[in-house]
Structure 1
Amino acid sequence: MIPTLLRRHFGFTDLRPGQEAVMTRLLAGQSAVAIFPTGSGKSLCYQLPAIALPHLTLVISPLLALMHDQLAFLTHKGIPAATLDSSQSAEQSHHVMQQAREGQLKVLMVSVERLKNERFRRFIQQIPLSLLVVDEAHCISEWGHNFRPDYLKLPHYRHALAIPQVVLLTATATPAVIRDMQNKFDIPSNGVIVTGFYRANLDLAVVPLQPAAREQWLTKTLMQDPTAPTIVYVTLQQTAESCAQMLTRQGLKAQAYHARLSAPLRSQIQQDFMVGRVDCIVATIAFGMGIDKADIRRVIHYDLPKSIENYSQEIGRAGRDGQAARCVVLAHQAQLPVLENFVYGDTPDLSAITHLLILIKQSGTEWEFTLSQLASDTNIRPLPLKTLLVYLEIAGIISPAYSYYADYRFKFVLKKGEILSHFHPTRQTFLTELFACAPQARSWCTMDFDALWQRYQGERQRAVAALDYLQQQGWIELESKQMTEVYRVVTPEWDGPQQAAALHGLFLQKEQSELARLATMLDFFTSPHCLSHRLAHYFADTAAPARCGHCSVCRGQVATLPSLPPLTLPNNETLRTWCDPFVAKTGCQDARGLARFLCGISTPMTHRVSAKSLAGFGQLTTQPFATVLQAVTRVYQ
């Protein structure tokens, strides 16, 4: 069956290593984990079985660009596939849902956040599903390099939606992360297919350079072959802009790419790179996922990557055509405080966790919130806040009940009377009451669920179902926003200080794990052993040669990173001068909070009080956070 489907639908005659093993399991009704390097054809592992399986395949994908790239590929091959995503109009979403209801789709791609949408869950529960595909599945492991708390709920969603089998896809899973994924989805060891990470066509090099020397090195290197497709990875958005401008002044066709650019502009830049109108992309890690450009000849890390896992993903975009490609890291330690600051910024203060527990206790038996407001109220960034909620679930304090959109609005496509004429009198009465509780401003009507209940005892759930039905019929255009989370408080009484300390300890442990990940990366780049071999071994590939012959170590160029210049901290009086205005604005005298302020680490609190306008913000960005923390502790103890 597999060779026939492969030729008929994809035009291929051969499979890459590991693909057939994964497909065979899926077509036999079993689940699988596919650990393949970037660019090794993970997507085909589900795309081919999706054609043969009887029902819809639901794909969880972490990035809009990734979904659109895969959708374009499937559409080109004549395979009925679609996405539901935030870029679509109401009409487009309605059309996709109708296709799924009528069995016209084989593949539907959504983000993991879509599953928190009550309207989507109500819809997808009506659709028979054959397979759940989890792309970038390492995100489910809190000890992985890119943990996303919402991924932890995927095993629950799988059971709730009665999906018989699952395939987990990733390029960057260490042995510990693989075990974690297996356990969460009950996949046996013989269901894990790992292919080799070693790639003979990639030349890996570490070039020790002082930061000031990087521009000259980069310009000289790119000018040697100015049209060779190249990705230059940087850490900060402003670095992407300044570096791209510098290369453009040298006559190179370069563009910056980062998350602050508008979605249409990012899409245009990506397309220009794909077709050769742009030769060099200077990008943050926002660029690259799902990029399937086969002839990328150079991947250069202008700044240190965030981890070995990130490094592996990013260099994996080079040389997918099998031809030689260069992967160079311009290594220095000066950027290490910036990478460490990302870690320290995600560790909530003990006082913030304590405040969160008080809010839960005060809520009674049911706790309702929007994530953005809760982040602001507690001064905890959204990602660690989501992680904290998961920890509270594990501790048995709260349990997720449901999510809903707080705000619904609609506008009429048909006139009210024409809509009402389609229903018998009882339903006409309910819809009349519903419309009466949706005041109209110009063309849009905003739903007031409280008024519907108080005036007519109309239930919210029935009203939402009715609005969904009217949208499905094309009689109204419906929009929803402001996701509200509802949790049940399972344990109403607990020792607040003890629980807060325990949770804070988990975050401190995770912080140390992330800092150790950075230390492991530096050790890798300065290793006297073959880089290709060590990289493969890190990802459980024991078959790579001990000496590859095409890395800087094998050429006798073991990297010794330039030492940092001696850093001196300002005196206590200067520290107080910088910190006191922030203390006056916020009341914060927590040493970690003040250290974050001085190191330029943004939090909800710094946004709320416009801390960036204060003279002290970011004054010690280049200093190690731990050193700044010690100094602030002495001043404000």
Structure 2
Amino acid sequence: MKSLDSQLAHYFGFNEFRQGQFETISTLLAQRSALAIFPTGSGKSLCYQLSALLLPHLTLVVSPLIALMHDQLHFLQSKGVAAASLDSTLNADESRDVMAKVQKGEIKILMVSVERFKNERFRQFLAGLKISMLVVDEAHCISEWGHNFRPDYLKLPQYREQLAIPLVLLLTATATKKVKLDMAKRFAIEPTDIIQTGFYRQNLALSVLPVLEYAKNTVLIEQIRQQRGAGIVYVTLQKTAMEVAQLLQSANVNAVAYHAGLDDEVRGHILRDFMANKIDVVVATIAFGMGVDKANIRFVIHYDLPKSIENYSQEIGRAGRDGQSSQCITLANLDGINVVENFVYGDTPEPDSIAKLIELLKTTTIQGVWELQDNPLASETNIRLLPLKTLLVQLELKGVITAKYSYFADFKYKLLVEKQQLLNQFDPERQAFLVMILSYTQFKKVWGTLDFVQLLNEPNIERERVVNALDYLHQQQLIELETKKITHVYQVNQQALADPNLVNELIRYFNEKEQAEIKRIAALVRFFQLDKCLSANLARYFDDQQAPAQCNTCSVCLGSVATLAYSSHPELPNDDILIRYLHELKQLCKSKVNQPLSDKSYARFLAGITTPLFTRLKVRQLAGFASCESIRFADLVQKVSTLQLNEF
């Protein structure tokens, strides 16, 4: 076999490995799983890309962002590597073509989102493949202690086991020591197979500028005029992105806004123009994130406080990937703390909501099986989708429920050939099976809906065979198949469910998680006010003990220690106004759902924090919604508790 250096040159045209790449690839080729922690832009992706070409079968890559997938696909395809993705941008024909090529062994690297594993058709597709390696990009999402924790990622060890994938590679740029060890433990990666190259980047100059709110726009324009080349301005809210972009445009800066509220096509167009140097400055929420792999970003400015030190490090990590000097500037005050904190408080379920979910679990379990659909359950329990998923994962970890499978409740299809022509392609036994499926399909003009419930009452009819048959007909272009309303099926452990401490344990978990997130925000504020080198402290936060004690380029090293302050001290409306606002909310809830509200719910309303119940009741139309959004949430809860709302 050729040496790794010659393979690197052959496939990718590079003369030498970057730090950590050789060690990671060698570990994988020795059939040991690995965790690679490299700084942003230092070549993590090459570790799986070259390994995949040297392993015998398919490499499956789980990536959190479509933009990130497409960027890596473009690079791989430019090198002649057979790689593809299955994502929501593909139409039915394109998805079918990718799957056919994978089955034929024509694709070496397949990229997917973690959510795709919920698709029963996709999991059945994977079960028929030989897979050499599972790669998890942005792997800190696996850890409950990571800043971008996504509960669905906790299922990946289980999927890996079910699919008997021998190797795993975890990739991330941002992992504290606690997160690092947590990730490795979940995939049984040996400590000796954790490859960490260091976090410190000497070309990034970190600056914290204390700026009161009234002066922020002026300082922003001044800072941008001092910069050369492309840059990103990060903000917290979508409306701020629009306002700041307009401000910069009026100052003759070639700037555009980018946020999750824009159409996919518009966002894609902005990203392409930025990459092609047609746009100088993107004013962005964190939606403009991990997919941005532009080497010559000369500056990143935080107009608002980031959500955490981890978010900050990821966002500044997009600057200076070409190794050239780049500026990372934070326009800092304490005004935005409540906005960042409100994201946390909004994702903490109310105790009554948790109790309601457990009661629903008890009353809707049939013969030890519980079926649910995410959106209806979120609406019924008044728990946002992300914390709902987190809660379900916690129930799994406690052994209360065990995920069995997911399926689509709605199967619709239309025939692309005449019925008899379709049947004639199969032997009599398969014909009879397909006739059974057709007989339980209610056609309206062109499209038909399969009545799965009635079909499965027939003897010797198994759901898996029906799904495989429909999928096969779809692949053969004999039908066009659409699936909707994904339903998750869990096995329920009645003994664990009956634990009288269960609800309180879940409430305690979410409260602890909430407080941990609030402490994370406090740590960020402390970091910005440090009196010692910012770069050195940032590196040590991520367990890099090799960084120099002084960078000589950050604002602290240059003699400027930041002290952050509030621009003003917002005041609450008087009690009579607050009581009027909350009385309107109470009357609306009473008339529509007859549901009492807690002090925290009233505080959420005043702070402008949405919940499924508030969305359903359209409370944004009430005068009091978000009327106190500049007040910190804890202060609002305390105030509401003094108003004696039960008396009005």
Q: Same fold (TM over 0.5)?
A: yes
| Aligned partner (choices 605, 627, 635) of residue 627 of structure 1 | 635
Q: Is the 8 A contact 1:210 1:562 kept in 2?
A: yes
Point out where structure 1 has 5 or more consecutive residues left out of the alignment: none
Structure 1 runs (4+) deviating above 6 angstroms are none
C-alpha deviation, 1:335, in angstroms? 0.4
C-alpha deviation, 1:562, in angstroms? 2.4
Instruction: Determine helix, strand or coil for the equivalent of 2:222.
Output: helix
Instruction: Determine helix, strand or coil for the equivalent of 2:642.
Output: helix
Q: Is the 8 A contact 2:399 2:496 kept in 1?
A: no
Counterparts of 1:531 and 1:320, CA distance in 2: 19
Aligned to 1:332: 333
Counterpart residue type for residue 436 of structure 1: S
Q: Is the 8 A contact 2:531 2:556 kept in 1?
A: yes
Do residues 322 (structure 1) and 330 (structure 2) align?
A: no
C-alpha deviation, 1:493, in angstroms? 6.6
Instruction: Determine helix, strand or coil for the equivalent of 1:4.
Output: helix
Q: Is the 8 A contact 1:229 1:295 kept in 2?
A: yes
Counterparts of 2:445 and 2:113, CA distance in 1: 33
Q: 1:548-594 deviations in whole A, cap 9, x for unaligned?
A: 10000001000011235233323333222111221222233201111
Give the CA RMSD over aligned residues: 1.4
Aligned residues: 636
Q: 1:42-76 deviations in whole A, cap 9, x for unaligned?
A: 10010001000000000000011111111111111
Counterparts of 1:53 and 1:453, CA distance in 2: 41
1:169-248 to 2 correspondence within 5 Å? 169-225=171-227, 228-248=229-249
Alpha carbons of structure 1 residues 398 and 458: separation in structure 2 relative to 1, 3 Å: same
Instruction: Determine helix, strand or coil for the equivalent of 2:80.
Output: coil
TM superposition score normalised by structure 2:
0.96
1:250-399 to 2 correspondence within 5 Å? 250-364=251-365, 365-399=368-402
C-alpha deviation, 1:218, in angstroms? 1.4
Q: Is the 8 A contact 1:36 1:194 kept in 2?
A: yes
Do residues 404 (structure 1) and 407 (structure 2) align?
A: yes
Counterparts of 1:144 and 1:50, CA distance in 2: 27
C-alpha deviation, 1:451, in angstroms? 3.8
Alpha carbons of structure 1 residues 381 and 133: separation in structure 2 relative to 1, 3 Å: same
Instruction: Determine helix, strand or coil for the equivalent of 2:340.
Output: helix
Aligned to 1:467: 470
Counterparts of 1:219 and 1:588, CA distance in 2: 48
Counterparts of 2:542 and 2:104, CA distance in 1: 43
Q: Percent identity?
A: 51
Counterpart residue type for residue 549 of structure 1: N
Counterparts of 2:212 and 2:444, CA distance in 1: 60
| Aligned partner (choices 583, 587, 602) of residue 594 of structure 1 | 602
C-alpha deviation, 1:220, in angstroms? 2.1
Counterpart residue type for residue 217 of structure 1: V
Q: Is the 8 A contact 1:90 1:479 kept in 2?
A: no
Q: Is the 8 A contact 1:419 1:475 kept in 2?
A: yes
Aligned to 1:168: 170
Q: Is the 8 A contact 2:213 2:567 kept in 1?
A: no
Aligned to 1:578: 581
Counterparts of 2:639 and 2:459, CA distance in 1: 62
Counterpart residue type for residue 311 of structure 1: Y
| Aligned partner (choices 543, 547, 550) of residue 544 of structure 1 | 547
Q: Is the 8 A contact 1:32 1:187 kept in 2?
A: yes
Q: 1:258-306 deviations in whole A, cap 9, x for unaligned?
A: 1111111111100000001111100000113132111000100000010
Aligned to 1:3: 5
Instruction: Determine helix, strand or coil for the equivalent of 2:544.
Output: coil
Counterparts of 2:552 and 2:587, CA distance in 1: 60
Do residues 57 (structure 1) and 59 (structure 2) align?
A: yes
Counterparts of 2:291 and 2:263, CA distance in 1: 18
C-alpha deviation, 1:442, in angstroms? 4.0
Q: 1:323-347 deviations in whole A, cap 9, x for unaligned?
A: 1110000001000000000000011
Q: Is the 8 A contact 1:304 1:335 kept in 2?
A: yes
Do residues 527 (structure 1) and 525 (structure 2) align?
A: no
Counterparts of 1:224 and 1:572, CA distance in 2: 48
Point out where structure 2 has 5 or more consecutive residues left out of the alignment: 590-594
Do residues 616 (structure 1) and 624 (structure 2) align?
A: yes
Instruction: Determine helix, strand or coil for the equivalent of 1:58.
Output: strand
1:18-29 to 2 correspondence within 5 Å? 18-29=20-31
Aligned to 2:93: 91
Counterparts of 1:610 and 1:235, CA distance in 2: 23
Aligned to 1:433: 436
Counterparts of 1:544 and 1:95, CA distance in 2: 48
C-alpha deviation, 1:495, in angstroms? 4.9
Counterpart residue type for residue 641 of structure 2: T
Aligned to 1:134: 136
Instruction: Determine helix, strand or coil for the equivalent of 1:43.
Output: helix
1:486-565 to 2 correspondence within 5 Å? 486-492=489-495, 494-495=497-498, 498-565=501-568
Counterparts of 1:170 and 1:123, CA distance in 2: 28
Instruction: Determine helix, strand or coil for the equivalent of 1:310.
Output: helix
TM superposition score normalised by structure 1:
0.98
Counterparts of 1:634 and 1:259, CA distance in 2: 38
| Aligned partner (choices 5, 11, 17) of residue 19 of structure 2 | 17
Counterparts of 2:352 and 2:387, CA distance in 1: 15
Aligned to 1:449: 452
Q: Is the 8 A contact 1:582 1:588 kept in 2?
A: no
Counterparts of 2:379 and 2:40, CA distance in 1: 37
C-alpha deviation, 1:157, in angstroms? 0.7
Counterparts of 1:486 and 1:431, CA distance in 2: 26
Q: Is the 8 A contact 1:244 1:254 kept in 2?
A: yes
1:150-165 to 2 correspondence within 5 Å? 150-165=152-167
Alpha carbons of structure 1 residues 223 and 629: separation in structure 2 relative to 1, 3 Å: same
1:113-152 to 2 correspondence within 5 Å? 113-152=115-154
Q: Is the 8 A contact 1:131 1:164 kept in 2?
A: yes
Q: 1:335-360 deviations in whole A, cap 9, x for unaligned?
A: 00000000000110000000000000
C-alpha deviation, 1:430, in angstroms? 2.1
Alpha carbons of structure 1 residues 147 and 126: separation in structure 2 relative to 1, 3 Å: same
Aligned to 2:82: 80
Query: Which is worse superposed, 451-460 or 625-634?
Result: 451-460
Instruction: Determine helix, strand or coil for the equivalent of 1:557.
Output: coil
C-alpha deviation, 1:537, in angstroms? 0.4
C-alpha deviation, 1:497, in angstroms? 5.8
